Amino acid sequence: MKTIRSLFPKKEAGSYTNAGIVFVLSVVLFVGLTMPFRLRLAAADITDMRPTTALTPVLGLLFGLPAALGCGLGSLISDCISGYGFTYALIGAAQQILYGMVPWFLWNKINKEQDGNKFRLDCISRMLKFFLVMFVDAILIVILTGILNHAYAVSDFLSINNLYLFFNSFDSGLLFGCPLLIAGHFLQRYLENRKNGCKEKIFTFSLNERMILNTIITGVGICILVGAAVYLTEKMEKEGSSVGIWGRMYLFQTLALNFYFALSMGFMWFTENRIAKPIENLAEVAGNYYVEHATDEQRETMVTACEQYAGDSTEVGDLARSYISMVKDLEAYIDNLQAVTAEKERINAELTLASSIQAHMLPCIFPPFPEHDEFEIYATMTPAKEVGGDFYDFYMIDDKHLAVVIADVSGKGVPAALFMVIAKTLIKNQAQMGLEVSEVFTVVNQLLCEGNDAGLFVTAWMGILDLASGLLTFANAGHNPPLLKQKDGSFTYLRSRPGLVLAGMEGIKYRKNELTMEPGDRLFLYTDGVTEATDISNQLYGEERLSEFMNGHVQDTAENVLHGLKQDIDRFVGEAPQFDDITMLMLDFTKKNVGDSMEEIVFSAEKIFPAEDSVLQEALGFVEEELDKHACPMKTIMQITVAIEEIFVNIAHYAYPEGKGDVKIGMGFDEKEKEVIFRFTDHGIPFDPLAKPDPDVTAGAAEREIGGLGIFMMKKTMDEVAYCYENEKNILTMKKKFS
């Protein structure tokens, strides 16, 4: 890295231009600072006793030959303007060049520190070296000036003015040289940073540099005060010429200043060795300790560096001991932090695994039941934390009934997730046992209340859809009301009286509700994370905004609606964090009427029978004969004949109360699907056997109502059953697999 010395004479781009600038500035400064003294103090013996005497050695030390040549030319010009002969002026110019080059030579010879910066003046050793250079240069200028003045009979060689000139040169060199060297160091750091592209701020001085600057500033102040005191004293006594006053001012100023410098060197040596250096060393090792991220090697280095000062009884010793204690405490802290971090990483890994397990516990394959075209379903869950307390579920209880569940466990995080797993499992187990939705919630509530010391609870909504009839039975345990869109309609809230939350209180019984879904109807279930999503202004997304969004997307698929709703919630929330799990489920009932779906079936066998009990066996024989032709298993034949008998007897007894009528039985076979389809058609009074509620089979015979058991058995044994009344005809259609 080049220093400012490289301004000249290296043959690099711009070096000669820089040397020229230094040369011109040196000429201007020398003439500009010298002539006011010569014009104001015309006496030849005091014109050289001025602060600008330090200009040549200081500029020469900093910039070398260009500055020395500039000061030489400035001296020549000044002497010519002052009326000296050309030869005298020319010798004086040569003297100035030598006066400027000697410091350059001496400084580079005795300043051997290999730190890449020769202008550093931040310790007593360098200060003494600089004092030595200025001392030698002051002796040189006194000798040269004495010889020159004696040769030209200006003054004697050993005159008092030469003593003044020595102190003037030495003290001025110190007063102006030290700040300029420190400024040169500052400038060099700035140029190096600029070249290296470093943006580090360098507008700071070291502790020693600040002490030196303070010493110099104080010295200048002492010179001014002593000079002013001498001047005022001489003026008050009104004795002596101005030249005498000036000489005495110099004498007292230099004596006071050099005495002050001697004391300052001792003081700075003490503070440097006992305060400045220890503090700088401690600051350096502390900085390295920080930068190196407190490795074992750096900790040992710092403790070793601090131990050499730890025995002092001064504040530096206190600081060193504090550093040692800090390092030891920091070691313990780092060990604890590493242990805590490792534990946190382990917990995070386990939470990530738990989140994955929880996500896979919920149905996540869509479409879930490809063999069923009666419905379409899609669901999503976005937990607020790694694991959540919300859950959804759907599953087939049997071939004809679909259960859908959505629930929200109180609380967040791991406790809620564990409680969620328990609740989900219990609800599914009870539902698959064949219980009604109200009974499922009643049993699950009782089970969850047992041992619930944490006081957690679950809001839940469950529905069981009969895929054949579209009958939806549902129960609500303190959950948000779903949104229902009926065919060719809009979304409205399906409000019903909700029961108490699950695990809220023992002994609670829940109410069963019913509605019939038609093909094209859509049911939307959600948790309160949707309606209670909050923006930065604490405004809720709300039921009204949810209803508006759903009604604006009635034609979209379930998947698109749910993803679009999540995006709309995110836009509404904005920068606000997600405080609650967001869980949604959409169910589309797409099944057409079973009878209508069978219009394409060709009935291979049809026969009309009188609607009388006497022909029942003839009708059963017709059915069994056709079933035998298609190798239908005996077990299936028995189930079918029981259902046929129930239907035929009901038509014979109730279809024609005022007379006689007939009934047509049609049979069709789908060999590929291994299915048989029956259709009963009569012209009797309208009657829908599927509308009659199922009997309570859990009650005793004495408690059960009479009738309805045959139709219930028919619905349970057949895979699909549908009824419609068209063209003044009752049409009952059944489907049964026989593979």
Helix, coil or strand: residue 277 = helix
Q: Which amino acid is at 628?
A: D
* Tens of pLDDT, residues 200-236: 555 566 667 777 777 777 877 877 787 788 777 776 7
3-state secondary structure labels for all residues of 324-348: HHHHHHHHHHHHHHHHHHHHHHHHH
CA-to-CA separations, 81 to 36, 75, 86, 89, 402, in angstroms, rounded: 12, 10, 10, 10, 116
CA-to-CA separations, 297 to 138, 284, 338, 731, in angstroms, rounded: 50, 15, 18, 92
Measured distance CA(326)–CA(313) in Å, rounded:
19
Q: Across-strand partners of 607?
A: 665
Q: Which amino acid is at 451?
A: G
- ∠ CA(421), CA(422), CA(425), 5° rounding? 85
The two three-digit tokens of residue 175, written as one number: 């007063």
Nearest CA to 51 out of 208, 173, 228 is that of 173
Nearest CA to 485 out of 583, 403, 407, 586 is that of 586
Residue 257 contacts residue 219 (beta carbons within 8 Å): yes
Residue with structure tokens 């007593």? 124
Q: Which CATH superfamily is domain 594-737 in?
A: Histidine kinase-like ATPase, C-terminal domain (3.30.565.10)
Measured distance CA(536)–CA(576) in Å, rounded:
5
| Residue 295: exposure state from Cβ atoms within 10 A (0-12, 13-18, ≥19) | exposed
Measured distance CA(654)–CA(730) in Å, rounded:
12
Measured distance CA(105)–CA(132) in Å, rounded:
13
Helix, coil or strand: residue 589 = strand
Task: Identify the H or E element spanning 736.
Answer: strand 729-737
Measured distance CA(248)–CA(226) in Å, rounded:
10
Q: What is the pTM of this model?
A: 0.48
H helical segments located in 362-481: 413-432, 437-449
Q: What's the pLDDT at 598?
A: 46
- Rounded mean pLDDT for each run of 10 residues along the chain, 739 residues in total: 42 63 88 76 49 77 86 87 81 84 83 59 74 82 75 66 74 74 70 65 63 76 78 68 66 76 76 71 64 59 70 68 73 76 70 63 87 90 76 92 94 79 92 93 94 89 91 95 89 92 93 91 94 92 95 93 94 88 93 51 83 92 90 88 91 88 90 86 89 66 59 84 87 86
* Tens of pLDDT, residues 228-272: 887 777 767 665 556 567 667 767 777 777 787 778 777 777 777
Nearest CA to 210 out of 260, 280, 262 is that of 280
Measured distance CA(658)–CA(10) in Å, rounded:
131
Q: Which distant-in-sequence residues (6+ apart) come within 8 Å of 669 by Cβ?
A: 604, 630, 675, 676, 677
The string of DSSP codes covering 238-260 is T-S-HHHHHHHHHHHHHHHHHHH
H helix and E strand count, the chain: 20, 15
Q: Which distant-in-sequence residues (6+ apart) come within 8 Å of 111 by Cβ?
A: 118, 126, 129
- ∠ CA(734), CA(736), CA(737), 5° rounding? 160
Q: Cβ of 3: how many Cβ atoms within 10 Å? A: 15
| Residue 320: exposure state from Cβ atoms within 10 A (0-12, 13-18, ≥19) | buried
First CA to last CA distance, the chain: 93
The correct answer on CATH 3.60.40.10 for the domain covering 371-589 is yes
The two three-digit tokens of residue 326, written as one number: 């800090």
Residue with structure tokens 């056997």? 689
Q: What's the pLDDT at 314?
A: 65
